Chain A
């Protein structure tokens, strides 16, 4: 059974002039446990909307989203929030570390929404996670004292600290240089593989997308499988946006 399955997912919004704008059209996607999927697309192609749906931040207009055997597209807002906290980890382009908090406190943040051992042992769990991403020496550092690569490592540790089964990486290397980006992607891939989590990378960078095992292209709301190597060799402008 797929970890995540989108079937015929459509997302549309009503514009002020009463017309309907379809952002996503009949999206089908299955993601297995431990899978690594990339989605490329230019600005306005619907990447953010897809991310919202994958991250259970929004509900589709039509179609279904199953997380394992649960029909999450029909869950209440509160249940979706809990499912997101427990099973999904987010990594953002701009790292989005909380200012004024140390690396350790940032990694502890998701554990504040956990229960039981994860909540009460949050300091030690967050410390262990930072060790896993090689930042055991920088636990007390504020985000502004960390390099871009270190900040993204903290963000990765934060995304993984609750042991999610799905990691959503939104332009994870967008704010990093090529070398650091490659290192971060390798780390992300390794950590995801070790923890058995599925990884979905949403990016406009075909080189980052190429690191995934399966590749999709989102164009005008339609998601289609794509041969990323062929696209890279053709250097089509829209995949290196």
Chain B
């Protein structure tokens, strides 16, 4: 035990002296490692943000995992009773404890603009839709649960719509007239769209608010679709259960289709696999280059080390002790470089400008991924071990007297 303890302390003393004496070489080689680790960790960190951005982009379209979509079709041409359907959906939500759901539809509403009435595509949704699809308004606010009861229904309009009415300040509660048999005033409470850059005016409205204004006649031929956000692990049995329950509710004259629409439900290859592969490939390449430079420097200096190690061996340093000291010297050095590299990577990845550039509007920016830091430190240690291994193995295997006389 005493020998082991003094061995450890002795190896630390040796490594410290070695680092002091060869500080220029060590510093130069470690700068290379630190830069490589910074690059590696930054790529992994930014990769996580890019991945999140891609994920959110997919979730904005198909909903978060797992989103089940239910569609009903009339098999005979006869209307499907939307009230029955709605009641069945409420039962399903209650029975399976589904917290988030949305009744969706697409209709066309006449909107009175200054230059005349225009038919505007209107997306009908429920309040939960924003959570389920990561929908965010660029200005104003999303619907509240009480908005369905407003006498003047709330509207969220897209950029083109808003500009067409003169880009009013939302704090002034701008209104538009919804034309029809019973013209109604709609209040614009937010600006945003699921489809960025749509040049035509479009709007989003709560389904219940629309029914209150226009009645459910619209749904007679084209019933609304329903979305349910459920835990992924029960998505499959719930798909079957909802299909069964809705089929039972609508009767024989209609068919029901329930399926997953979110990205994770596509099946087959992971849709994020290309991103992951690219990020991993770049990271490995960077690390390989960093490791190569360090190994190169280590091999260049191995001759010098052989002589020194030969001298140490002649004074009683065992092969294991020499191996440990040389390895530790390298590993401790690269670990320190790794810590610096990870620190720099955190500064880069957490930089708001960089995040904005990579995230492309992602809402839930992930914190600096701990796995990136661990990968960085692990890679630094592995590179140090690898770079220390070669000279250590060479030095340990060499004939001591030959090494000294070299």
Contacts and interface: CB of A to CB of B under 8 A. Distances in A.
Given A57-B401, A101-B17, A113 B317 contact: yes
Interface string B226-253: 0000000000000000000000000000
Interface in B184-240: none
Contacts of B321: 81, 113
A114 B346 CA distance: 44
Given A100-B22, A101-B21, A81 B316 contact: yes
A87 B405 CA distance: 22
Contact of A57 (B6, B311, B313): B313
B27 interface: no
Contacts of A115: 2-3, 6
Interface string B60-89: 000000000000000000000000000000
For B9, B21, B311, B313, which residue has the most chain A Cβ atoms within 10 angstroms?
B311
Nearest to A105: B17
Contacts of B399: 52, 57-58
Interface in A42-79: 48, 51-52, 55, 57-58, 77-78
Contact of A52 (B9, B10, B13, B400): B400
B10 A113 contact: yes
Nearest to B18: A100
B91 interface: no
Interface in A95-136: 96, 98-101, 105, 109-110, 112-116, 119-120
A84 interface: yes
For B2, B307, B314, B320, which residue has the most chain A Cβ atoms within 10 angstroms?
B314
Contacts of A114: 6, 316
Interface in B36-82: none
Contact of B316 (A84, A92, A94, A120): A84
Interface size class of A (residues with CB under 8 A): 20 to 34
Contact of B313 (A81, A100, A158): A81
A57 B400 contact: yes
B314 A57 contact: yes
A109 B400 contact: no
A98 B311 contact: yes
A221 interface: no
A98 B314 CA distance: 13
Contacts, number: 82
Given A52-B400, A52-B401, A98 B308 contact: yes
Contacts of A57: 313-314, 399-401
B315 A90 contact: yes
Contacts of A98: 308, 311
Nearest to B400: A57
A42 B1 CA distance: 46
A81 B318 contact: yes
B404 A92 contact: yes
Contacts of B316: 81-82, 84-86, 110, 113-114, 162
A113 B401 CA distance: 19
B21 A100 contact: yes
B22 A112 contact: no
Interface of B: 2-3, 6, 9-10, 13-14, 17, 21-22, 307-308, 311-321, 399-402, 404-405
A236 B21 CA distance: 47
B25 to A, nearest CB: 11
A119 B321 CA distance: 15
A96 B404 contact: yes
Contacts of B315: 84-85, 90, 109-110, 113, 158, 162
Contacts of B3: 115
A12 to B, nearest CB: 15
For B307, B316, B320, which residue has the most chain A Cβ atoms within 10 angstroms?
B316
B318 A77 contact: yes
A48 B401 contact: yes
A6 to B, nearest CB: 17
Given A98-B311, A113-B317, A162-B315, 10 more contacts: A52-B400, A52-B401, A57-B313, A78-B320, A81-B316, A101-B21, A114-B6, A114-B316, A116-B2, A119-B9
Contacts of B21: 99-101
26 contacts: A48-B402, A51-B401, A55-B401, A57-B313, A57-B401, A78-B320, A81-B316, A81-B317, A81-B318, A82-B316, A85-B315, A86-B316, A90-B314, A96-B311, A101-B17, A109-B311, A109-B312, A112-B13, A112-B14, A112-B317, A113-B315, A113-B316, A113-B317, A115-B3, A115-B6, A158-B315
A85 to B, nearest CB: 2
A77 B314 contact: no
A76 to B, nearest CB: 10
For B3, B13, B315, B317, which residue has the most chain A Cβ atoms within 10 angstroms?
B315
